[in-house]
Structure 1
Amino acid sequence: MSALLGRLGGWCARHGRLVLALWVLAAGLLTAVTMIYGSPVSNNVAIPGTDAQRAHELMREGFGPGYDAGGTVQLVLYTEEGTLLSDGREKAVGDALARIREVPHVVEAQTPYRLGGMASNQRIGMITVRLQGQDGVKLGETAQALVAAAAPATEAGIEVVPAGSGSPADKEIKTGTSEIIGVAVALLVLLFAFGTLVAALIPVFTALISLGVGLGVIGLLGHVVDVPKSASIMATMIGLGVGIDYALFLLSRHRRMLADGVPVHDSVRRTVASSGGAVLFAGGTVVIALSALTLAGFPLLRTLGWITGISVVCAVLTSITLVPALLGLLGHRVNALRLPLVGRVAGRHGPATGWAALGNWVAGRPWRVLTVTVVALAALAAPAAALKLGPLDQGYSDRGTSERRAYELVSVGFGPGANGPLIVVAELDQKIADTTPADPVVQDLTRRLQRTDGVAHVSPHKVNENGRSVLVQVISEYAPSDPRALDVVSRVRAIRVPGAHVHVGGEVAGLADAGDRIMGRTPLVVAVVVLLSALLLLLAFRAPLVAIKAALMNLVSLGTAFGALAVVFSMGVGSRLVGMDPPYSPDGSFVQTLFFSVPIDTYVPLMLFAVLFGLSMDYEVFLLTSVRQAYTRTGDNRAAVAEGLGSTGRVITSAALIMVAVFTAFVAYPDPLVKVFGVGLAVAIAVDATIIRGFLVPATMVLLGRLNWWIPRWLDRILPNISIEGHDEEPAGAVPEKELSATGRR
């Protein structure tokens, strides 16, 4: 494989202008096409085979407009002075209703003066607008059109706010400031790492081209598949980080070779043959981890996984093609526009670095380093036991947004449970008519619902036009994000009515089913990711113990990430620091507003696991590649560990700083989901690149000695020879890798 990559890198270096033109053209065309035709997004939260999905399917059949795919929009009305019943305001609301009914796709607009449409204080009301033939993806645009149509009410001093359904993740997340901050900090780190402006700009330029192509492809895919609204932001976070990192690793190797006097094109070829293989395998682990999300049984998570993987594939492709092309075009000018005092390049035989000294220090006291490191990592991971999982509702949206405002008004006027009503649909054994009084089966169902613990209100029932099912809206006493709301779902589902089969849908029920499905599939996803990643490392290094150890190390860094999430969000210690606003609280107590917990959606830990496992493997691959090359040359395990850490420490640290900067910049996003990912990714990468790669990995490798590279003879015979390290840098007389015996010795 290294020979093939070397030939590819050499060809790109010789045809740099062509390769550069093709990539720039691809990025430009894809960006232009998505700007012209748009990038459709949709959070399709359907979970086949669940009770909530069955309820939604029944709800869309024969209950009239608004219950089908057209959807429903709620407009919350609020007057600060007086009530909505005053003559002037009631007339203004009537005029607004008339205009709302003229908006395209509107088939019904219910007055707030109906039973259950107005709060007891008469200052908060709700207009329910039912739509037909409306694209569900465009509900946000329709809501704004409805608000504009309600201008008569607004002019009369009535606040009109569209109530958002779903979680904060349902909003379309627009990119901008955080990406600029991340790129700026990355450029600053690269300037200090390389010491030249030209070299620093290469990884940034490559990552931006990769990101343009990836986002363009994702945007076009939105026309044929359901692309989650959070896919673009996840692709941007991951693509920007790995795109810069992969180019950084290649560029660092190339500059060291130039410092050793290797000709430019020969250096590019050898760089891609060695470091390019590491990039390919590192990217492969990220893609494998993300692809394993298809086993989670949650379509939204599955799509989010493989869509995000597209940005990683683009980053790998630009690294092994565009970077060599730029290096071939620039030649020795890659070191142009040098900054004073920073970024000096040492060849392989240059003076020892601080990282090499650290490697020697760790190698001299491996047991003590291992003990202290394990204790420190255990302390960082311990809070993960307090991680609080649950639905994330609009009450945690950014303060000042219409979603947050509507949520709080509904909570005050109608109770917190009105922000996430339960849709109860009962399939009937026999056909019934919509009569007054209601059929005995319906009466029995209504009574049981009203007596259910945690139910605040039961709306009048609605019979399906074919008489074979009945729909009832149930308001819980608890907010959608309150764990007790899930208990209400369970109790309603436990209702048994002769002649009826009860199904529960709605936001809370859907999230409950998603959580159960994901929790049940999590062990399978984790096992597949760990085993496939370990197998990939086994193919790369032909060392079973190294592969197993690397997988375990990645799980350790995941523990620290979950520990940080528990401290910041579940314990609420840093919720204010990351820009979260406290949710609505009836008592408004000081402690609750200073330290408040934020639930983490059930699917987030699994998504974080997949992303972090892949990213952590990147640094493991690059470190092991360098150690393996040193061991192949010298046969001295302890010296190889010190040399490997010395040659990669600065590069890995720079790469980690860039990733941490990019992920931290995204914490500034108002969306809680993005904040969770930003904090988790930043902490895990920081710990992984310092404590784990600087201390834990070297200490364990020193203790294992030559067992690091031991492989049974039978396994050595059946494994394909696709080593990623490349051997064109080895000095004359170095013993080839195949002469390492089954004991790991020459």
Structure 2
Amino acid sequence: MSSLLGRLGGWCARHGRLVLALWVLAAGLLTSLTMIFGSPVSNDVAIPGTDAQRAHELMREGFGPGYDAGGTVQLVLYTEEGTLLSKEREKAVGDALARIRQIPHVVEAETPYRMGGMSSNQRIGMISVKLAGQDGAKQGETAHELVTAAAPAAKAGIEVVAATSGSPADKEIKTGVSEIIGVAVALLVLLFAFGTLVAALIPIFTALISIGVGLGVIGLLGHLVDVPKSASIMATMIGLGVGIDYALFLLSRHRRLLADGVPVRESVRRTVASSGGAVLFAGGTVVIALSALMLAGFPLLRTLGWITGISVVCAVLTSITLVPALLGLLGHRVNALRLPLVGRVASRRGDGPATGWAALGAWVAKRPWRVLTATVVALAALAAPAAALKLGALDQGYSDQGTAERRAYELVSVGFGPGANGPLIVVAELDRAIADTKPADPLVRELTQRLRDASGVAHVSPHKVNENGRSVLVQVIPEYAPSDSRALDVVSQVRAIRIPGVRVHVGGEVAGLADAGDRIMGRTPLVVAVVVLLSALLLLLAFRAPLVAIKAAVMNLVSLGTAFGALAVVFSMGLGSRLVGMDPPFSPDGTFVKTLFFSVPIDNYVPLMLFAVLFGLSMDYEVFLLTAVRQAYTRTGDNRAAVAEGLGSTGRVITSAALIMVAVFTAFVAYPDPLVKVFGVGLAVAIAVDATIIRGFLVPATMVLLGRLNWWIPRWLDRVLPNISIEGHEDEPAEVAPDRDLTTAGRH
């Protein structure tokens, strides 16, 4: 594989202008197409085979407008002085209703002056707008139109906000400031790492082209499949980090070869043959981890996984084609515009700037047991808080203060109770057809009474009979907010209702999240096993060393533990919730939690998504470190010296790469969306721990203790495995043959 990559790199170096033009054209064309045709997004939360999905399917059949795909939008009205019953305000609301009913797709707009449409203090009301033929993905745009149409009410001093269902993660996220901050910090790190402005700009330019292509592809895919609204931000976060990192690894290798006197195009060929292979395998592990999310049984998570993987594929492709093209075009000018005192290049045979890391490797090699013990204790302490990780629904009560979503949530909580923000949609299938009569059929009366008697139920709305008489719909308002774990208990109690001839199904936001959590928890062991096994297999193919592959998988799980520990401290324990920009939760009495620390629930699917992303990203540094150690070992045959040399030659590069990723992920913590904050904190902490404690101490210590067993492989396995090693040795002296079995290893 190394020779194939070498030929590709050499070709790109010779045809640099063509490769550069093709990539710039692709990025520009795809970006233009998304601007012309748009980038449709939609959080499809359907979970086939669940009770909530069955309820939603029944709800869309025969219950009329507002219950089908068109949906319903609630407009919340609030007057600070007086009540909504004053003649002036009542007339203004009537005028607003008249204008609202003229908007396309609006089939019904219920006045707030109806039973249950106004709060007890008569200062908060709700207009229920039912839509038909409306694309669910455009409900946000429709809500804005409805608020604009309600201008007569606003002129009368009535505040009008749209209450939409879902969580903060459902809102479309606009990119901008955080990406600029991440790129700026990355440029500073690269300037210190390389010492030249030209070299520092190459990874930045490559990553931006990669992101442009990736986001363009993702945007156009929105016309064919349901692309989650958070897909673009996840693709940008990960694509920016890995895109810069992969180019950084290649550029570092190329400059080292140039310092050794290797001609430019030969240096590019060798760089892509060796480091390009490491990039290919590192990117492969990330894609494998993300692709495994297809087994989670949650369509939203499955789509988010493979859509995000597109950005990683683009980063790999630009690294092994665009980077060598730029290096070929620039030649020795890659070291132009040098900064004083920083970025001195070390030759392959010298220590140079890597002396400190080589010294650390030698220090660890002399006392591996003590280093291993201390490192394990430190990592265990960092991971211990993960046991307190609090999973749950993240409702609009955790949106930014001042946003329409947060304001609507607060008004509904005060006027109608916290449970009104997440009503349960109860749909009962009947064994026999009934008529919509008064008094209601005995089956309906019994169902309604059982719902009222359920613990935690605040209100049961009047029932609605399906047009064929075979199902009944009832809206149930719990006493608890959607993010309150007790709301899940209400779902369980309602689903436990048993009436002869009646099959009860529960839908709605809370029920859907409960089913999603159950499905994800049930599939998590399978996803974890597939990710770990496939990643270990990929490493086995890369290095032909079973113990190294197993150890790498274990190390990645350790870094994941520290990430979850950090999330538990910041969000579940609430010790850093304010520091990351979260606003305190709102109480139904109209006050905010007056405390510096407050707990924030983490959506059930986030840990599994984080696992996939972090496992893949952590494997990147493992691949680059092991590649360097393996090359040193095949050259010298001395395992202890190879570990020190491998750490010394990659330490500065891996540290620079990690600083860039940490900077990028930390910059995204500034986003107002809580989901992005969670990912930013988890990714930043895990990468920081992985590149320092794990790669600097734990990995070298274990490799020293294992000795030649690191590279042992049974003879039968050596014969079976295809020879696709990622290491290129065109520039290396003759190899020392690796050990083939345990008996042979013991004789060395």
TM-score, normalization: structure 1? 0.99
What is the 5 A alignment of 1:230-309? 230-309=230-309
Amino acid in structure 2 at the alignment position of 1:129:
V
Query: In structure 1, the residue corresponding to 2:127 is in which secondary structure?
Result: strand
The more displaced of 579-588 and 135-144 is: 579-588
What is the 5 A alignment of 1:158-557? 158-351=158-351, 353-557=355-559
Query: Hey, what's the Cα distance between the residues in 2 that align with 1:183 and 1:138?
Result: 32
- Give the deviation of 1:735 after TM superposition: 3.5
2:157 corresponds in structure 1 to 157
- Give the deviation of 1:743 after TM superposition: 3.7
- Give the deviation of 1:742 after TM superposition: 7.1
Q: Are residue 562 (structure 1) and residue 558 (structure 2) matched?
A: no
What is the 5 A alignment of 1:68-217? 68-217=68-217
For residues 616-671 of structure 1, the C-alpha deviation after alignment (integer angstroms, 9 at most, x for no partner) is 00000000000000000000000000000000000000000000000000000000
Contact 1:395 1:584 in 2 (8 A): yes
Contact 1:713 1:742 in 2 (8 A): no
Contact 1:476 1:485 in 2 (8 A): yes
- Give the deviation of 1:544 after TM superposition: 0.2
Structure 1: state its 5+ residue gaps: none
Contact 1:608 1:677 in 2 (8 A): yes
Contact 2:714 2:740 in 1 (8 A): no
2:62 corresponds in structure 1 to 62
Query: Hey, what's the Cα distance between the residues in 1 that align with 2:463 and 2:588?
Result: 31
1:582 corresponds in structure 2 to 584
Query: In structure 2, the residue corresponding to 1:128 is in which secondary structure?
Result: strand
Query: In structure 2, the residue corresponding to 1:399 is in which secondary structure?
Result: coil
Query: Hey, what's the Cα distance between the residues in 2 that align with 1:386 and 1:531?
Result: 28
- Give the deviation of 1:597 after TM superposition: 0.4
Residues 1:739 and 1:114: Cα distance change in structure 2 (over 3 Å): closer
Contact 2:434 2:441 in 1 (8 A): yes
Residues 1:448 and 1:590: Cα distance change in structure 2 (over 3 Å): closer
Residues 1:741 and 1:428: Cα distance change in structure 2 (over 3 Å): closer
Contact 2:633 2:736 in 1 (8 A): no
Q: Are residue 657 (structure 1) and residue 641 (structure 2) matched?
A: no
Q: Are residue 735 (structure 1) and residue 736 (structure 2) matched?
A: yes
Amino acid in structure 2 at the alignment position of 1:413:
G
Amino acid in structure 1 at the alignment position of 2:44:
N
Query: Hey, what's the Cα distance between the residues in 2 that align with 1:351 and 1:218?
Result: 44
1:35 corresponds in structure 2 to 35
Contact 2:718 2:740 in 1 (8 A): no
For residues 490-516 of structure 1, the C-alpha deviation after alignment (integer angstroms, 9 at most, x for no partner) is 000000112110000000000000000
Contact 1:461 1:472 in 2 (8 A): yes
Query: Hey, what's the Cα distance between the residues in 2 that align with 1:439 and 1:182?
Result: 63
Structure 2: state its 5+ residue gaps: none
What is the 5 A alignment of 1:40-51? 40-51=40-51
Contact 2:714 2:741 in 1 (8 A): no
1:724 corresponds in structure 2 to 726
Query: In structure 2, the residue corresponding to 1:122 is in which secondary structure?
Result: coil
Query: In structure 2, the residue corresponding to 1:342 is in which secondary structure?
Result: coil
Query: Hey, what's the Cα distance between the residues in 2 that align with 1:669 and 1:698?
Result: 37
- Give the deviation of 1:590 after TM superposition: 8.2
Amino acid in structure 2 at the alignment position of 1:90:
E
Query: Hey, what's the Cα distance between the residues in 1 that align with 2:351 and 2:171?
Result: 53
Query: Hey, what's the Cα distance between the residues in 2 that align with 1:735 and 1:655?
Result: 30
- Give the deviation of 1:593 after TM superposition: 3.2
Identity %: 89
Query: Hey, what's the Cα distance between the residues in 1 that align with 2:738 and 2:525?
Result: 37
Query: Hey, what's the Cα distance between the residues in 2 that align with 1:594 and 1:6?
Result: 56
For residues 651-707 of structure 1, the C-alpha deviation after alignment (integer angstroms, 9 at most, x for no partner) is 000000000000000000000000000000000000000000000000000000000
Query: Hey, what's the Cα distance between the residues in 2 that align with 1:42 and 1:590?
Result: 32
Contact 2:456 2:490 in 1 (8 A): yes
Query: Hey, what's the Cα distance between the residues in 2 that align with 1:460 and 1:589?
Result: 32
1:601 corresponds in structure 2 to 603
Amino acid in structure 2 at the alignment position of 1:268:
V
Query: In structure 2, the residue corresponding to 1:107 is in which secondary structure?
Result: strand
Contact 1:710 1:742 in 2 (8 A): no
The alignment's C-alpha RMSD in Å is: 1.2
Amino acid in structure 1 at the alignment position of 2:420:
A
- Give the deviation of 1:726 after TM superposition: 1.1
Runs of 4+ with >3 A deviation:
586-593, 733-746
Query: Hey, what's the Cα distance between the residues in 2 that align with 1:69 and 1:185?
Result: 45
- Give the deviation of 1:351 after TM superposition: 3.2
Residues 1:530 and 1:134: Cα distance change in structure 2 (over 3 Å): same
For residues 221-265 of structure 1, the C-alpha deviation after alignment (integer angstroms, 9 at most, x for no partner) is 000000000000000000000000000000000000000100000
Contact 1:105 1:133 in 2 (8 A): yes
- Give the deviation of 1:588 after TM superposition: 7.6
Query: In structure 2, the residue corresponding to 1:593 is in which secondary structure?
Result: coil
